[in-house]
């Protein structure tokens, strides 16, 4: 049981630290958008690069932050029924529906890897005047999906132990 706790803590730490690191992208996003607003409306000199930069930063933030959000229970839930259930019934419900989660993550890893690796092999760039490399951004999809899958596996193990024993694993 001690090794299992250690594994779960390791997964939690990976999600925690990757989430904190990814949160720094929001600072870059704020700086980029502020610069664009100042350049466009203050100096009538819009940039070519800012729109794509903002999309890349925000997309990476969302994709790579999924595991952190799952770790902290920040994903959207429909609480019409779920909110009225006991903690053990919630864990049971999560166990019954986890196949959807793992199926979704599996598809994201599989197709995301194909999508990203094809882009890396072609050293793909966007078709705009600025033409930045896009393969970095496309590889965030399988990486984020793997992080989400790991955190989902940790949640599955915790829910399973809680349903069977009635004790939470920390």
25-75 pLDDT, tens digit per residue, is 999 999 999 999 999 999 999 999 999 999 999 999 999 999 999 999 888
pLDDT tens sequence across 77-102: 777 888 898 999 999 999 999 999 99
Query: To which H or E segment does residue 101 belong?
Result: helix 87-122
d(CA 119, CA 80): 42
Q: Are 140 and 120 in contact (CB under 8 A)?
A: no
Confidence at residue 162, expressed as pLDDT on a 0 to 100 scale: 96
* Cα-based distances in Å from 62 to 39, 75, 122, 145, 147: 26, 12, 25, 11, 12
Q: What's the mean per-residue pLDDT of the chain?
A: 94
Report the percent of the chain where pLDDT is more than 70: 100
Alpha-carbon gap, residue 36 to 47, rounded angstroms? 7
Q: Domain extents for the chain?
A: 2-165
- Rounded to whole angstroms, the Cα distance separating 168 from 87 reads 10
Give the whole-angstrom CA distance, residue 148 versus residue 66: 6
Residue 131, sorted as left (phi over 0), alpha (psi -120 to 50) or beta, turns out to be left
Rounded average pLDDT over 103-131 = 95
- CA 155 – CA 94 distance, rounded (Å): 9
Q: Looking at residue 79, what is its pLDDT?
A: 79
Average pLDDT rounded to a whole number, residues 103-112? 97
State what percent of residues in the chain have pLDDT above 90. 86
How many Å apart are CA 35 and CA 144, to the nearest integer? 28
Residue 5 has pLDDT above 90, yes or no: yes
pLDDT value of position 76: 81
Question: Whole-angstrom Cα distance, residue 62 to residue 37?
Answer: 23
The pLDDT of 126-130, averaged and rounded, is 90
For residue 125, give the 3-state DSSP assignment. Answer: strand
Give me the pLDDT at residue 65, please.
96
Backbone conformation region of residue 19, classed left if phi is above 0, alpha if psi is from -120 to 50, else beta:
alpha
Q: Report residue 91 as tokens.
A: 């864990």
pLDDT-based confidence at 142, cuts 50/70/90? very high
Tell how far CA 150 is from the center of its chain: 11
Tokens matching residue 55: 């999309």
């Amino acid at each position: 049981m001690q090794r299992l706790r250690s594994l779960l803590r390791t997964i939690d730490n990976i999600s925690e630290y990757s989430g904190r690191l990814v949160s720094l992208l929001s600072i870059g996003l704020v700086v980029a958008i502020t610069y664009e607003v100042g350049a466009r409306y203050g100096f009538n000199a819009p940039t070519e690069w800012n729109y794509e930069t903002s999309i890349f930063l925000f997309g990476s933030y969302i994709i790579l932050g999924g595991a952190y959000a799952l770790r902290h229970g920040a994903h959207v839930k429909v609480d019409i029924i779920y909110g009225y259930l006991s903690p053990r019934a919630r864990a049971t419900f999560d166990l019954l529906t986890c196949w959807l989660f793992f199926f979704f993550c599996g598809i994201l890893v599989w197709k995301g890897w194909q999508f990203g690796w094809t882009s890396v092999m072609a050293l793909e760039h966007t078709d705009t005047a600025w033409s930045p490399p896009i393969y970095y951004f496309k590889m965030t999809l399988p990486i984020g999906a793997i992080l989400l899958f790991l955190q989902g596996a940790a949640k599955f193990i915790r829910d399973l132990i809680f349903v069977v024993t009635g004790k939470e694993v920390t």
